[in-house]
Each structure stands twice: as structure tokens, then as C-alpha cells.
Amino acid sequence: MNTDVSVYEVGLRDGLQNEKAIVPLVDKVRLAEALVASGLRRIEVTSFVSPTWIPQLADADAFCRALPKAENVTFSALCPNQRGLERALATTLPEIAVFVSASETHNKKNVNRSTRQSLDEFKDVIAGAKRANRRIRGYVSTVWGCAYEGAIPIAQSLAVTRELLSLGCYQVSLGDTIGAGTPRQTREILTAYLAELGPDQLAMHMHDTRGTALANILVGLDCGIRDFDSAIGGMGGCPYAPGAAGNVATEDLVYMLDGMGIATGVDADAILMAARVAEEVAGRPLPGKVHQAGWFPKRANVGASGTPISKLK
């Protein structure tokens, strides 16, 4: 098994968009610093969406200006439309992510347009981002099923993925938006995708609503996927996809990979520290398992800065 896996952190975006509380900017910065200190190299920080639709991320512009300086880290943010791109281009973010659902109903509920309208709008968004030398990632939601429409045919999500790649996305992250997937289904989906696409063109974005995210990720690894999205502490969910629980927790994903001898570049102690910061920032216990149970075998129990966790706030 290839040991080079890239973890794409979405807690600040997918996580905080689904928190009841609106987290103050200063706490978002604290969490961003903890995530950077853990060794994560790809961090999605916010969304340039309507503040009416997602009030939790209304401070996107200011937050991007306040991000820690981190040369080795690629920060990214969601952009649904031209207005979102304009906001992104006013920042120094090197990357944006466009998002669309394979399910017509979910796309309509999420962004108030049809899948076709979203894809048409992305032509200009992606072209504009490329002219400004920004990289573009894509998301396709509801690949494993939709809260409104039930099962989504593989051909339907694959067609949307193909189009995003042909528009210029360097990679498309396949979303199990409501955490419905099971391993045999995952193998079936990935086999169909990989018959025409390279594994590096794909990532997996698994919500863990039914506890099957890591099992699905193992199937992904076996099929050759090396890019996995996760959220610190297991935060996350789409406010416009009823029943969607958090993403697979970053610390759980890193723990599993580490135990399998698969390097992620993420430090064990520092990621547990970041999960602790995430709990403080969210103001509630988070569902990730490894930050509750601890690393095994036991680690030095120090935070990212070398300060014992017990001494950190």
C-alpha cells in the first residue's frame, strides 16, 4: 500500500457551518493555528456564500485576512458563484472549491439552483479563478445517497464529476453528504469512477452519520485513493441536508492511518491538542473518538507548542 496520504481538513468550514453557535473570529484563528501546528497541509477555512444562508461563516473575508502565516499550508474556501469568486480573489487564498450536488433536490435546497445552473455558472467562476492563478477543487455531494431523493445512480454523480474535471478542477471530492455509505457500495462506486479517472483526481469526503466512514475510507485506500477529507473533532454537516452528522474526525483518520504505517505528516500529540481547541471553540463535546480515548500506545501528552496539555487552557 502506498504510504503517502493527504488529509484535507474541513473543520473550520464544514464543521463550523453546522454549529448552532456563531464562533467569534478570534476563536477561529486559534483553531486555525492549532490545525497548522499539527502538520496539516491543506485546510479549508471558510465559505464565500451568502451570510443569510450560512451566518456562521459571515466573517469569511475578515477571517481570511487573520489567518496565521503558514508557507507550507494551502488554505482554501468554498465559492458557489461569481460573487463568491470576487470575494475570494480579494484574499490571498491560493485555492477555492466549487460545490454541486448530484441530487437535483439537494442542489436546489443548498444553493437555490439546478445542478445544470450550478455547472454553467462554474464555467466563468473557474475561468476567473484560473486567470488569477488560483487552483480549483470540486465537490460532488450525495454520491452515496440523498436525504430527499434516496439512492443516486452512479452514472449521475460520475457525469457531474467528469464535467467538473473538464472545467478545470484539479481534483473532485466525492461526498457522502448524509453518511449513508457502506463498503461494498463504496467499492462499486469507486470501481466505476476509476475505470475512467485517475485516483489522484478523486478524494473522499465521508460524513460519519452511521459510523461507516472509516470502513469506506479503507475501501478507498484499497482502490488507490490517497486524498481524504476530515474534520477536527468530527464536527460537520450540511445545514441543507437533513440528518447529516459530522465528518470523519481528523484525529480518528490519522490514528488509523498511523497505525497502518501510512504517513500523513500530522503529529499525533498536536492533532489531539487541536481537537481539544476545537471542543473549546465549539463549546461542546465533539464526537471524534481518539481525542476522547487518547493515542495508543500512549504518547508524550504534550501540545503543539511543547507545553503539557494539562497546562494549556
- Binding residues for Mg ion, per CB under 5 A? 14
Distance of CA 68 to the CA centre of its chain: 19
Judged by beta carbon, residue 14 or residue 279, the one nearer ligand HMG is 14
CB of 141 to Mg ion, least distance (A): 7
Question: Does residue 238 belong to the site contacting ligand HMG (CB under 6 A)?
Answer: yes
CB neighbour class for 176 (10 Å; exposed up to 12, middle 13-18, buried from 19): buried
Compute the chain's Rg from CA coordinates.
18
Name the residue type at position 137.
Answer: R
Judged by beta carbon, residue 178 or residue 281, the one nearer ligand HMG is 178
CA distance linking residue 42 with residue 62, whole number of Å: 20
CA distance linking residue 54 with residue 16, whole number of Å: 10
Which ranges in 195-232 belong to alpha helices (H)? 213-223
Residues within window 169-208 making contact with ligand HMG, judged by CB under 6 A: 175, 177, 205, 207
Whether 169 is a known active-site residue: answer no
Question: Does residue 47 belong to the site contacting ligand HMG (CB under 6 A)?
Answer: yes
CB of 80 to ligand HMG, least distance (A): 4
Tell me which residue has cell 460532488. Answer: 140
CB of 87 to Mg ion, least distance (A): 20
Residue 292 site contact among Mg ion, ligand HMG, none (CB < 5 to 8 Å, cut-off depends on kind): none
Q: How many beta carbons lie within 10 A of that of residue 109, not counting itself?
A: 18
CB neighbour class for 285 (10 Å; exposed up to 12, middle 13-18, buried from 19): exposed
Residues within window 108-147 making contact with ligand HMG, judged by CB under 6 A: 110-112, 139, 141
CB of 231 to ligand HMG, least distance (A): 9
Which residues in this chain contact ligand HMG in the complex, by CB under 6 A? Answer: 14, 17, 47-50, 53-54, 78, 80-81, 83-84, 87, 99, 110-112, 139, 141, 175, 177, 205, 207, 238, 240
Active-site residue set: 238
